[in-house]
Structure 1
């Protein structure tokens, strides 16, 4: 025995030996992304029984050259994976400018910020034998901020956002689709990144769905295995507009599930102010009511259409927004339209006649409501 060496108990030594053999096997196979994952797991595993070893492993992870190279174009030497049929890229990188913080309800914002904070403080978590959340599932209707939240997270973590549209990787040969997904996930795991699997329900449907062929059901199993093996150095996010279609096993695989609802009045008003920019009217109350039940995407589309039309016609943005909102007003009940008419007269400085024309509520009805309000 070497001088100064200490004999370790067999029950402690055996796990270390198994880990070393496993690590050597993976390293000799050239799977660098899996080596890093194994080292992370070992650092967590031995935090309590061998603190010195755990600290040494964390030091190695911090000094790893891959930590500073998020992807090709950012330092990743690996070729971008291509589809075997079309030879087109299977993945796209979002390299737009700084991301604008998405407008979210407070409880949704808190969940997104915790994901960010966990990855920013991975070393602090490691000291307690913990790791950041590796995976997150974003569900909700279209246009509610799922992709914007993913982009903001990537920007905050100083990582590229890699987007895989699962509907686009479905090969005519389903067996090749599994290979495509593995290629993309291996590429994303090779260095720190935020990977967004868009339209997850395209692939990860319920395996008890009788309409799906056996090969597609096996594809779900492949995806689940890949999610299980995802390293904590990167963040895997998945988005779906149809959470009810997902296989139940998929839900259990994600560390965090964030359900994005349609925006409420407060979130809509904040978003509208952002979309209108310096041209924002003094009051957007009428538009918030007109857009009740709409998504952020619907609101942005309406405002941008109004801004373009106002720029071409030299009209006030407020006047154009009134006209564009008129069609939506017609779908509201009379009580809601009456209240909007009153608000337009008070906050928008509109005449009684103009408020009546826009809302379809008679002037007599508006006058009667005004008298009732004054009497109260």
Structure 2
């Protein structure tokens, strides 16, 4: 018991010291730690702290007003270190695989059911790591989370944080994270591998290695009032200690055929008179690409059609021309072009190089209305 009393005494002195330093965000982080650390020895105090933290840090409360701070800037360039989207907007609704969608929905459910979690002595996930190839929807997912939670989205401007004076890079990073801790927000740290590389990488100098230590400390102290989202295209470059700090690691695969079809249906609906037909064809032609690659190709043919003043449907075949792949893939694509009614057998032969006899034989026994060809695991 004496040991527990000594710990409480030391913690209270530490809390007083932090409070007198004038850093409200550090006080909140410390109280969060106490609310978790004293659940066994002082459950009443832990519950009271959890309730206080849940009720007090709202934007309208005095505590919230006290923690408002000036948007952090780089001391040399005076550039803002964060981009803020107060009300995140999406160009289109995201389309994800079942496992990714379920994980994102669970993050939202945890925040909306926080009272139930706290009654059970639990907290919602505070930190999450998104991994996956460029263009698979990691940034879009962060924006979607912020919109669903009705929170502002803060995006770290990595170029601004990385000061030419390396000693100040760590300071910039602390300023950004300390600022974000004072807000009920979603903070996105994109390209995390640039500041969280393995500390055994001999190619990195000491200051960049120290950034990893700064980041680890900040992640450990992240309050449950906010959600820290980090994203990387190169998870293999991350320091192993960083991986262990995140409550959830979520991998975003390349979209499978169902996801591509759903995306194309949404994107083409206001643009094409043959939405379903072209969605079926392009699902096969664009398989293996990321959402951003597909979006870029669609915009390219849209610009061409707009400049010529012609219907988009007349130019969508351009997305099929030159697509390679296995022989079976090309046969499936040729058959779909004919079955969907967008090209004749002759035109499908010219676009894909598949013999008309093969197309005729394939379309004669192919059920209508289904996406044919080899699927891709996503």
Normalising by the smaller structure, the TM-score range is 0.7 to 0.9
TM-score, normalization: structure 2? 0.87
Q: Which of 309, 320, 329 pairs up with 1:336? A: 329
**Secondary structure of residue in 2 paired with 1:209:** coil
CA distance in 1 between partners of 2:366 and 2:250 (Å): 43
Q: Which moved more, 1:184-193 or 1:352-361?
A: 352-361
The 10-residue stretch of structure 1 (206-215 or 119-128) with the greater mean CA deviation from structure 2:
119-128
The correspondence for 2:317, drawn from 319, 322, 332, is 322
Matched, 1:247 2:239: yes
Mapped to 2, the partners of 1:277 and 1:366 lie a distance apart of 28
1:214 counterpart = 2:206: yes
Paired residue for 1:19, among 11, 14, 37?
Answer: 11
Alignment correspondent of 2:374: none
Cα distance in 1, alignment partners of residues 365 and 82 from structure 2? 61
CA contact (8 A) 2:126 2:226 kept: yes
Q: CA RMSD in A?
A: 2.4
**Contact persistence 2:198–2:237 (CA under 8 A):** yes
Instruction: Find the partner of 2:74 among 77, 83, 86.
Output: 83
Tell me the TM-score normalized by structure 1.
0.88
Q: How far apart are residue 160 of structure 1 and its match?
A: 0.9
Moved more, 342-351 or 81-90: 342-351
Q: 1:110 and 1:61 mapped to 2: Cα distance?
A: 28
Alignment-derived partner of residue 3 in structure 1: none
- Unaligned 5+ runs, structure 1: 1-8
What SS does the corresponding residue of 2:269 show, helix, strand or coil? helix
Name structure 2 gaps, 5 residues minimum: 368-378
Residues 324/76 of structure 1: CA separation in 2 closer, same or farther (3 Å cut) = farther
Match of 1:261 in 2: 253
Matches of 1:198 and 1:192, distance apart in 2: 19
Pairs aligned (count): 360
Give the counterpart of 1:138 among 130, 133, 145.
Answer: 130
Which residues in structure 2 correspond to 1:14-53 (within 5 Å)? 14-53=6-45
Contact 2:79 2:160 in 1 (8 A): no
Change beyond 3 A, Cα 1:343–1:162: same
Separation in 1 of the partners of 2:335 and 2:243? 47
Cα deviation, residue 213, structure 1: 1.3
Q: Tell me: CA distance 1:69–1:102, structure 2 relative to 1, closer, same or farther (3 Å).
A: farther
1:63 aligns to what?
55
Secondary structure class of the residue paired with 2:155: strand
1:191 and 1:91 mapped to 2: Cα distance? 13
Provide the residue aligned with 1:5 in structure 2. none
Contact 1:167 1:199 in 2 (8 A): no
Note if contact 1:272-1:300 (Cα within 8 Å) is conserved in structure 2: no
